[in-house]
Amino acid sequence: MTYQVLFLDIDGTILKPDHTYHPKTKEAIAQVQELGMEVFLATGRPSHELSELATDLNIESFIGYNGAYAMYKGKNILDAPMDPTIVKRYLAIAEEHGHDIIFYSSEDNFVTSLDSPPLIKFAEMFALSNLKPMNKDIIEHILGATLINVTPEEVSLYEIDDDIRLSQVNVNGAEQCYDVIRRSVNKGEAVKIALKHLTISAEASIAFGDGMNDKEMLETVGASFAMGNANPELFQYAKYETKTVSDAGVFYGLKELGLVK
């Protein structure tokens, strides 16, 4: 099979818990780029938090906000904000139950509290900057959200629409944090849009992920890899299992396909 495009999750796939990456991961990305393959970052992170890593890895294209926004070499190919009604209801639910939420726009991160310890811990864990108080003027421009300090028993409080599911963040210390995933707007749907834009078939695409927010993406591509450190529930949706992020799983997965040496 001749593969033409690679989609890479960031946290737990490229980046280790200490926010660094294995040298072989960068080496693997460079090798497939030399083969002429397109490479996308595909993450739950907001786009404004990607520039440093993208520059370091020489990657110009990305899918952000768990599939709500995508750019291909500087050109916007997808922009799908959340329903403002749902954003408002989430704010009310969080206030009633003592939860925190980080909402992501194309430029900033908006939070329900600037002094909440769980929220501050989450922001530090993912090196998130540009934290601003949530305000009504931004409600129509929210691309994604992460719920914080929510127990498994409380997840159903936020599943208020058939289009929504919650994905537990697959990082130690963030067990009570959940990404808001839309069934109509997710990494898999964004990958389909990117493939259509590039006129590349799904069979000619590869993806690596570790969290349940990667589920749809792994189901979409031709060669899908779950990292060794992945959420155990994710393995059933991947065609292959590779090594952990700390052991350069991306490199060894691409090596299995004969794309790197």
Task: Quote the CA–CA distance of 21 and 54 in Å, as a whole number.
Answer: 13
Task: Quote the CA–CA distance of 191 and 220 in Å, as a whole number.
Answer: 7
Domains annotated for the chain, with CATH where assigned, are: 5-80+185-256 (3.40.50.1000), 84-182 (3.30.1240.10)
Task: Quote the CA–CA distance of 182 and 194 in Å, as a whole number.
Answer: 18
**Along the 261 residues of the chain, how does pLDDT read in single tens digits?**
799 999 999 999 999 999 999 999 999 999 999 999 999 999 999 988 899 999 999 999 999 999 999 999 999 999 999 999 999 999 999 999 999 999 999 989 999 999 999 999 999 988 888 799 999 999 999 999 999 999 999 999 999 999 999 999 988 888 899 999 999 999 999 999 999 999 999 999 999 999 999 999 999 999 999 999 999 999 999 999 999 999 999 999 999 999 999
- Single pTM value for the model: 0.92
Q: Residue 41: what pLDDT?
A: 98
Residue among 138, 68, 76, 67 at smallest CA distance from 107: 138
Give DSSP secondary structure letters for 31-42: HHHHTT-EEEEE
Per the CB < 8 A criterion, the answer to whether 139 and 185 are in contact is no
| pLDDT (tens digit per residue) in 69-81 | 999 999 999 999 9
| pLDDT (tens digit per residue) in 30-39 | 999 999 999 9
Q: Residue 171: what pLDDT?
A: 86
Return the H-helix or E-strand segment holding 188. Answer: helix 187-198
Q: Residue 228: what pLDDT?
A: 98
Q: How far apart are the first and last CA of the chain?
A: 17
Residue among 23, 20, 67, 17 at smallest CA distance from 41: 67
Q: Residue 72: what pLDDT?
A: 97
